[in-house]
A and B are shown apart, each in its own frame.
Chain A
């Protein structure tokens, strides 16, 4: 079953074509990689999927529903959630609160019942805290629950960002360069972590990554973008030997 379908999506910024006729079909439960040189349009593709940008042409379909023109927050409610290339945590809040913010979408209580402190809300708040704590325990951050988010080491901030995305109950998780700035050891544990949550939460994962070790290691299928165009698609082995991909990354071989 197809979970996300992009059909001929084009996004321009003035004269620059960031994404041109981009088409991809992601199956439920798949883990798919998106690679390409800097400025190839990878993050733009994520922004179109999450609703930050509206494409000029093409359609975005999520579980048989056309979401091309839908705003960003209802998409999160439907089950699309992401992390960011440059970590975006809520800096003046604690680790636990960061997780709780992501659960606000599922609160479904009016502001009046919240201010009046209705028993229904208090029960819900308690449940949310328990659930958030459980999630933190699962990602091994529970001992830091009351620490402010920026005080965490880099690797744990990345982990917290993924945990926060998980708190929205996503079906499709978009990871934007999760291994950026990590050493090989951290990268290996991140790969293990991504595989673990994918099985545990029954996720479909769409991942942008520069580190070939990650993409080749966990993705079954890889898309390669260059100048907003899909130049190759296939298994890691196929991608590695594709002359177009080598050309995009390393330049044309000098024939002279």
Chain B
């Protein structure tokens, strides 16, 4: 990085952390929660973007991996007393019933478990392509959910886990979003990233150029899923309660919407998409409640805001199929161009009064 770019990067990082400090002190709990959600979904969207957008392997299993991460971390961090009180149907199995570990250990365990799960699932399904891969990953995601409903001695079944310590704050969520951003950015701009994109662009040619297709698909799948798994762990410790119904296909659809809206194959797109969708999801909440428009009253219809998202998606596919960013990125070169134009014009005025 050049000196100028380092300065721009530092200023950007300072603005974000300044905003977060301000938010942490002055924003109310509701707004903070939305900010946290935005950051968590950013990480999940970046993970999915690596699999779907950059490597071109259309996967619909992200919710399952978020579930694995959420449960794995919560089982370690839940206080022993809480575990005893919520597992009243069947007791929790050893060793989880006697463990109460720090948040960071929970997150690392979540990462390990999602990596193992995604490897085991990816190994058979990544031999499939296109629609078949999408269906298979969707199926496995549902299998994870159904299994978590039935393994009562580990997951407490449909009752879910409650009283999870609220460890997630803006530092954890945005810290991890920053980490995900760094990992994906480094990866995409490396030789491995070029190999991923080559597989997406032309599988036959990529293999002929010596790229081990299966190995690279599996790498992208495991890395992307692991990021989503950690996002799931952070989500569990933000909401403090998780149950299998949270990780339905609906969650995968939301994350997919983010990357389709932002632009598949763009890191910036995934970030912007996550922010817009999460924000709109809360902002449009009033649509679900009864509304009075002058003399007519619309009774509240739960899920009406989803109509807006569907419409948005249709409009997007009709008029801007590549998403907001397409496969372009917000780059230093772009910022420098804008800055130099801005300052350049000011400079000219000084020279010619």
Contacts and interface: CB of A to CB of B under 8 A. Distances in A.
Contacts of B198: 90, 93, 101, 104
Contacts of B207: 72-73
Nearest to A111: B192
Interface in B235-276: 265
A50 B219 CA distance: 24
B331 interface: no
16 contacts: A90-B198, A90-B202, A92-B327, A97-B194, A97-B197, A100-B191, A101-B194, A101-B195, A101-B197, A101-B206, A104-B192, A105-B209, A107-B191, A114-B191, A168-B209, A168-B210
B293 to A, nearest CB: 47
Interface residues of A, number: 34
A77 B201 contact: no
A125 B201 contact: no
B204 interface: yes
Interface of A: 50, 52, 72-73, 76-77, 81-82, 84, 88-93, 97, 100-105, 107, 109, 111, 114-115, 117, 121, 125, 128, 164-165, 168
Interface of B: 183, 186-187, 190-192, 194-195, 197-198, 200-202, 204-213, 219, 223, 265, 327
Given A101-B195, A115-B186, A115-B190, A91 B202 contact: yes
Given A101-B194, A114-B190, A125-B191, A91 B201 contact: yes
Contact of B194 (A50, A77, A84, A104): A104
A103 B201 CA distance: 17
A77 B213 CA distance: 14
Most buried by B among A81, A103, A111, A164: A111
A85 B201 CA distance: 17
Nearest to A174: B208
Contacts, number: 94
Shortest 3 CB-CB contacts between residues of A and residues of B: A76-B210, A105-B210, A88-B205
Interface centre among B186, B211, B213 (most CB of A within 10 A): B211
Contacts of B197: 90, 92-93, 97, 101
B202 A104 contact: no
A103 B190 contact: no
B138 to A, nearest CB: 26
A76 B209 contact: yes
Given A50-B208, A93-B197, A104-B198, 20 more contacts: A52-B204, A76-B209, A77-B210, A81-B209, A81-B210, A88-B208, A90-B201, A90-B202, A92-B197, A92-B327, A102-B210, A103-B191, A104-B194, A109-B191, A111-B223, A114-B190, A115-B187, A121-B190, A164-B209, A168-B210
Contacts of B223: 111
Contacts of B208: 50, 52, 72, 76, 81-82, 84, 88
B235 to A, nearest CB: 24
Contacts of A117: 186
Candidate in B190, B194, B208, B265 with the most chain A CB atoms within 10 angstroms? B208
Contact of A105 (B183, B190, B192, B211): B211
A84 B195 CA distance: 19
A93 B194 contact: yes
Contact of B205 (A77, A90, A114, A128): A90
